[in-house]
Amino acid sequence: MTQITLAPGKALTGACSVPGDKSISHRAVMFGSIAEGDTHIRNFLDGGDCRTTIEVMRGLGVQVDVLTPTELVVHGRGLNGLQEPGNVLDCGNSGTTIRLLTGLLVGQQFATFLNGTAQIRRRPMGRIVRPLRGMGADIMGRQMSEYAPLGIRPSRLRGVEYTMPVASAQVKSCLLLAGLYAHDLTLVIEPGPARDHTERMLAAMGAPVTVYGNKVSSERPRQPLKALDITVPGDISSAAFLLVAGAITPQSHITIRGVGVNPTRTGIVDALLEMGASITFTNPREEGGEPVADLVVATSALRGMTFGGESIVTMIDELPILAVAATQAEGRTVVRNAHELRVKETDRIATTVGELRKLGARIEPTPDGFIIDGPTPLIGAPVESHDDHRLAMAMAVAGLVARGQTVVHGAQVTGDSFPGFEVTLQALGADLLVEE
């Protein structure tokens, strides 16, 4: 068990970078596995969830060479080259791994079993099982197929037209992958702009994946998928913790280099700008089909705002840290239409509210979000990560402005998505102590 102890009073200044994007790192390994030839990945996220994806693909017969923790070569086996695994595929704690992989595996000529930690076995899988069955997939899971473990048998897939009830990139990606093995077109209709890394990467590999407004289709490729050289952009979801830290900590000025700014992911920047944060994008460029920029943030006077509707999916992982910003904003912040927070690594409405209240925040849960009144002078206290990386980091950032000491227990999970989080904050000047 790791704990982080934080104290306020230090300005955060300087330049830093954040590790590679988690969503893109998973996809690079998975899609590289079904490409023809070697996919070279740089700035891969060396975090727990992405390492799980490497292990699972190895279990399916794919050779993955780890040159350095952040540089890999995936020796693609082609669309039909995966091999029957000798054991249950362990998807660990990773929702992206289990949901995308299921889409890939329903089209294979062999049976597979997928499982994960207790946390993953509590997360809903019916949302992928139902539409996959609509494609003819032979798949079942625990509790009327709502939860993992999942078992898959080979079947002949047909395309579907499927309107997703909730905007989810994992569901969309799962169906697009199954669509690569189906007999006719698969069309997914999204209620909101969920992250589009799958569409971008598969299209760059030459797969027949096409986007028309809020619809995206995939079908069986006529030629092999091309292996790519992929440099993964910095993860905006990790940068979000530094953006909020910079905005709420007095006399701060931080440059975060090389952050992915795909418009399906920048909701947190738009939200913070609306709240009055001083954030600028510099040096815009493109890397591997994804827009990238350096972000500069400075201490700002924030005001409360209301967030809901379609923008929520573009900042769904950032809502815990947005809540921390809202505690320091003048007036009321309301987050609504975010029911999906209830089925993340933890019920992030309950855990964010519960832990922030320990620091004295005025925050109320609602069925689909929270209401926060600010500004509140937070007071340091012991808090828990609940084994949720984003909650642990959100609470650590709150600790940078809370009077006295804040101790985040169970903080080893920060490495799931942001290995080096603590060192990065220390290098920027934070008063932070890590104890194993």
Q: Which stretch binds ligand S3P (CB under 6 A): 60-68, 156-164, 167-175, 362-370?
A: 167-175
Q: Which of 39, 43, 94, 96 binds ligand S3P (CB under 6 A)?
A: 96
Q: Which stretch binds ligand S3P (CB under 6 A): 147-155, 162-170, 223-231, 302-310?
A: 162-170
Q: Which stretch binds ligand S3P (CB under 6 A): 166-174, 252-260, 271-279, 353-361?
A: 166-174
Q: Which stretch binds ligand S3P (CB under 6 A): 11-19, 165-173, 260-268, 375-383?
A: 165-173
Contact set for ligand S3P, span 193-232 (CB under 6 A): 195
Decide whether 23 or 217 has the Cβ nearer to ligand S3P: 23
First to last CA, the chain: 6
Q: Which of 25, 115, 168, 376 binds ligand S3P (CB under 6 A)?
A: 168
Decide whether 102 or 249 has the Cβ nearer to ligand S3P: 102
Write the single-letter amino acid at 242. Answer: L
- Check binding of 170 to ligand S3P (CB under 6 A): yes
- Check binding of 340 to ligand S3P (CB under 6 A): yes
Catalytic choice (196, 294, 317, 388): 317
Record the tokens describing residue 210, joined without a space.
Answer: 């096409």
Decide whether 170 or 217 has the Cβ nearer to ligand S3P: 170
Decide whether 25 or 39 has the Cβ nearer to ligand S3P: 25
Give the HSE-up count for residue 358: Cα atoms under 13 Å, Cβ half-sphere.
Answer: 19
Question: Rounded to the nearest whole angstrom, what is the least distance from the CB of residue 192 to ligand S3P in the complex?
Answer: 10
Is 270 noted as a catalytic residue in this protein? Answer: no
Contact set for ligand S3P, span 313-332 (CB under 6 A): 316-317
Interface map 3-42 toward ligand S3P (x if CB under 6 A): --------------------x-------------------
- Check binding of 177 to ligand S3P (CB under 6 A): no
- Check binding of 388 to ligand S3P (CB under 6 A): no
Question: Rounded to the nearest whole angstrom, what is the least distance from the CB of residue 58 to ligand S3P in the complex?
Answer: 20
CA 37 – CA 250 distance, rounded (Å) = 51
| Closest alpha carbon to 66 in 77, 78, 82, 50 | 50
Judged by the rule CB under 6 A, the positions of this chain that interact with ligand S3P are: 23, 96, 168-170, 173, 195, 316-317, 340
Active-site annotation, residues: 317
